[in-house]
Amino acid sequence: MANRDIRIVLAGPRGKMGTAARNLIANTAHFSLVACLDHKPPTETHFSEEEVPIFTDADRCFSEVETDVLIDLTTPQAAKAHLECALDHHIRPVIGTTGFTDEEIEQLRAKAESKSLGAMIVPNFAIGAVLMMKFSQMAARYFDDVEIIERHHDRKLDAPSGTALKTANLISDVRGEKKQGHQNESETLEGARGGQVEGMPIHSVRLPGLVAHQEVVFGGSGQTLTIRHDSIDRGSFMPGVKLAVETVMATKTLIYGLEQVIE
C-alpha cells in the first residue's frame, strides 16, 4: 500500500451507514475524505461535512476532486451509475449495495480489468456474515436440506437480502437442485414457503428494531444445524469497508463479495 493517504469520495453520507463510514474514514490514519456525493444539495438537507465539498453530480465530483476510491452506500440504481462513472474517471469503486445481475457483474469486471483498476461489489460488509456464508457452504456438503431466514429493519427496500441470495448461491455451488419438503405439499397461503433458489426456501422478515440478521438452518436425520449471524449496529460493517478499500487499491479486477478475499 502507498505511503500517502487513500483519497476517498463517499456517496450516501447522511444515512446510518454513511455516518459510520465517515467515522471510519476520520479514525483511519491512511484514509482521507476528499468529497461527499449526495442526491440532495446540503442546503436542502442541513447536512455538511467540514472542509469537504458536497456534490450532487458524480461526473463533476470525479472531474474536480482527485480521488482514489469511491465508497458507495446508496441505492442499487444510483450505485450502478456511480460505479460506471468512477471507472470512467479511473477511480476504484467499493459498492455496498446489491441488485447487480451476473451479466452486469461480468461486464463491469471486464471494464475494470481493461483499465487495470480494482473494484468491489459487497452484499454484506460484516466479516462475521461472510464467515457465516462460508460455514454454510461447508455444511451444505453434508446436509441436503436447508432453509434461510433473514431479518432486517423495515426501511430495507429489497427482499430477499443480497446476503441471503449470496448464501444460496454459495450453497448451490456444492449442492444440486432439490425440491424440499413433502412432494405433494401446497401453500394454503401464497408465499408461506418463501422464495425458492434451486429448492432452498428463503424467508424475509422486516421489522423496526432489527439491523441485519440471518440464520441458515440445515436438517438431517435426527439432527439440525443452525448457523446464525447478527449485526447489532452499523459499526459491525466498518472493518469490512476498510478491508474492501485496501483490497481495491491492490487489485486490478472486480471482486464480488468479501468472501473472495477472506480465507
**Residues that constitute the known binding site for (S)-2,3,4,5-tetrahydrodipicolinate:** 153, 162-163
Residue 107, helix vs strand vs coil: helix
Q: Provide the grid cell at 20.
A: 459510520
**Whether residue 115 lies in the annotated active site:** no
**First-to-last C-alpha distance (Å) of the chain:** 20
**Whether residue 242 lies in the annotated active site:** no
Handedness of CA 117, 121, 126, 132 (dihedral sign): negative
How long a stretch of residues is the chain? 263
111, 134, 156, 252: the catalytic one is: 156
Q: Provide the grid cell at 8.
A: 476517498
- Binding-site annotation, residues: 12-17, 40, 96-98, 122-125, 153, 162-163
Q: Provide the grid cell at 144.
A: 441436503
Residue tagged 483511519 (cell numbers):
28
Q: How many CA atoms lie within 13 A of 90 on its CB side?
A: 5
- Binding-site annotation, residues for NAD(+): 12-17, 96-98, 122-125
- Binding-site annotation, residues for NADP(+): 40
152, 166, 213, 242: the catalytic one is: 152
Catalytic residues: 152, 156
